[in-house]
Structure formats: C-alpha cells, structure tokens
Amino acid sequence: MTMGTMAVRIVGLGKRYRIGGQQEKYKTLRDTIVAGLKQPIARVRHPGAVSHRTETLWALRGIDLEVGEGDVVGIVGRNGAGKSTLLKVLSRITDPTEGRVEVRGRVGSLLEVGTGFHQELTGRENIYLNGAILGMSRADISRKFDEIVAFSEIERFLETPVKRYSSGMYVRLAFAVAAHLEPEILVVDEVLSVGDLSFQRKCLGKMESVAGEGRTVLFVSHNMQAVLGLCSRGVEIEAGRVKFEGSAADTVEHYIAGQSAAPALFQSDGSPLGSEEDVQLLSVRVASASGSTEGPFRSSEPLDVLMDVDVHRLDEALCIGFDLVSNFGTILRSYHTTGPAHAWPQLALGRNRLRCRIPARLLNDGRFMVVPRVSLHCIRWVVNSDAGSDAHGAVAFDVVRDHSESPYGWVRQPGAIALDLAWEAAPLATRESAV
C-alpha cells in the first residue's frame, strides 16, 4: 500500500502498563534526601516487610497493521484484548511504548464518554474547543455548529457546563462533534450503547455517510451484526496481538468460531434422572444442524434439542419435553410430546432419541437454557427441574444474532425473541373509514 492511499500505518506497536506497586510521583530534592535517610531505618524495623513490586502488562505487542483511505474497519475481540488501547494510541490519548504509528489526516475519536471535553466549559464552548484541537478554524466550526447541535439534540443545554450532562447527553454531543467536524479518520469505540435506540440508528447512519464520503472509519464493537452491516474489513485482536485480518465476514466467522463455550450437553454419570419404573433421562444436548454442541450458535441456523431417554414402561400419558428459558429466567415456550394425536412421536421400550428443532431466525443474541421435563400427563412429574443455573439436566447455550438483513439490525434490541415479522401498509380511502 503506497503512502498516497494509506490512512494509518502501524509497525511493531506495543503498549506496556505498570500494575501493582506504588505509582511514581515527582519528588523534590528534600523528598529524595528524607527518603534516603528513612530507608535504612525502615529495613531495620521491618526486616520481613514485603516490598511493593511493580509488574508490567503488555496491552499491545507487535501490532502491524495498515488501513487505507476510505476503509471501514471493524475491530473485534474479547474484553481486555487491547482494542480500546489501540484506539487510544491512534487518537494520541496515550503514547506507545514501542513501535511506530503513522496517521495521515485529522482524527475524530469517540472513545470513553466525555473524552476530550473540559468539564467546566459549556456544550457550546466544548464544540469550539474540540474543533480547535482538530485544527479547524473558528469559521469552519461555526459553519458546522448548527448541524452539530441539531444532531445531538441538546439545544436546551448548550450553555450548561458539560459536567452536569447525563451520560446520554455526553454521548450525543461527543458523537456529533466527532462526526461532523470532518475528520479524515473517525475512531469509534462501543460507547454508543449508552444512547437510546433511535440515536444509535442516527449514529449508524452518520457513520455510513462518513464512510460513503471516502473517509476512514475504525470501529470497535462486540456486536457482530454491527461489524457485518457497517464494515468492509475486520481485525481480530487477542491478548494484545492481531490474531486475524480479512474481510468483515471472514473476521466475524473466525471470531465466533474461537468463542466456543462449554459444550451444550448434559450427560448422566451413571445416575440418570427419572424413574426406573417409568422412564429415565440419559442425556440432553443442544446442537447445530451439523451436530456440534460447541457454541455460540448462530441465530440464522436452526438448533436441535436432543434428548436420550430409557423407556421402561409405555404409557399413553407419558410426556417428555423441555422449557426454553431466557437468561432472565422467563419461560419462552414449553415444547413437549403431547399435542395432536397424529403428531405424537412413537416411543418404544428401551432407549429412544427425541429430536425437537428450534427454527432459524427465532432467537435474539444472548444466553438461553433448555430445562428438561418428563411427566405422566396430569398425573405426576417424573423429571421436574427448576429453571436455575443448578437445575438438574439443564443445558445452557449462547446465541449470536446474525440473521438481520436490515442495516440497522446491529442495534441491540430488547427481548429474547428476534423473529422477523412482516409489515403491510394500505392507504385508507376516507377519514371516516379510519374511525
């Protein structure tokens, strides 16, 4: 990549932090002399005292990365991987310990809430302050001023010191300033979650507009749909290093594949649940269509709930199934083998495997549980577990929502269900017909 098309070039970047021990502070000559006199005495009085040792932590190490002008790059990774530290270095908020960073153009950044704001200054004054930091003239800032205020929706509080702003107001103004003062490079961390849904959509639209104008966007997000909907390239950071780089789709695929949780599986350890007279539950598993129990699972693909049971006595009242439970303990639906007579699965004496398919495009992102239930219908329970983390035979699994086709689908929607419903609209002929 030539310098003419390069927006950001990172070579051998490393950032080291000191953790533990006592923080360094400036000392006068008097402080140094007094400390020197006290040190031998302290050693005599406290021979077994433990010294304050300082450890080092490399938040970034050996980062090599090039970002071209007009690229929209999504940066993904676990918490603590180094994503935010990387953006802080690019925004010149913190200096690198080693390596080199070359940035071509003004950088507008939206990182931690309130970064770059002076607490005692008003919203109006902070707009001009941030513009000056970006190297813009007062006339250029004034030309964008009304647009910034309209976008941030804080006109009533424009003359109020920002220290009195709520976190939502902070984010509104910070994003409006960062996006509208025409930086060549826009750096956005995942602080947009503070805003409400409508404002998040406005922010996404503005980032799309910025990218469409040929400016460069670096976007950190834990929401994979955000990365897929907004970004053309992706970078995965792990333990301070670049683990993967490629298209946004390939990066998301690689990241999700590496986030395998514990298998979504319950297997009896020789003490199956249930009754030796009726039926015993041997195993419960949640699996993808390919049979894998390794999560997280994609919402765009169906899931199978597989239950292995040992039937000791056939009974028309036998009911086997499970509760699908949200992360908040709400039973979303109970699925079981009772229903229309023609839909009942045929069980045989001995071991049986029951399969129930959860359709694709149903679940939102989050954690869910399958809690098994076995009963003689309207007579008595055989297996009846509470929907808790220690429920016997319960299986927890994670879902990543990736089935939305809307460019705004990355905005985290509340609720456990994400089923796409069809809307229709038809004009009404007269005012009276609407009554």
More confident residue, 16 or 108: 16
Domains of the chain in sequence order? 6-257 (3.40.50.300), 265-400 (2.70.50.60)
From the DSSP assignment, how many helices (H) and strands (E) are in the chain?
8, 20
Q: What is the pLDDT of residue 3?
A: 47
Query: Rounded to an integer, what distance in angstroms lies between the CA atom of residue 260 and that of residue 256?
Result: 8
pLDDT digits (tens, 9 = 90+) for 91-109: 888 899 999 999 888 787 7
Query: Rounded to an integer, what distance in angstroms lies between the CA atom of residue 135 and that of residue 405?
Result: 39
Residue 245 has pLDDT above 90, yes or no: yes
CB-count burial class (<10 Å; 0-12, 13-18, 19+) for 280: buried
Mean pLDDT of the chain: 79
pLDDT band at residue 287 using 50, 70 and 90 as cut-offs: very high
pLDDT digits (tens, 9 = 90+) for 52-105: 566 888 999 999 999 998 899 999 988 788 998 998 898 888 899 999 999 888
- For residues 221-240, give the mean pLDDT: 84
Before 296, cis peptide (omega within 30)? yes
More confident residue, 310 or 28: 310
Query: What angle do the packed helices 123-133 and 167-180 form, to 10 degrees?
Result: 40
Cα angle 256, 262, 266 (rounded to 5 degrees) comes to 135
Helix (H) or strand (E) segment spanning residue 228: helix 224-230
Query: Rounded to an integer, what distance in angstroms lies between the CA atom of residue 153 and that of residue 151?
Result: 6
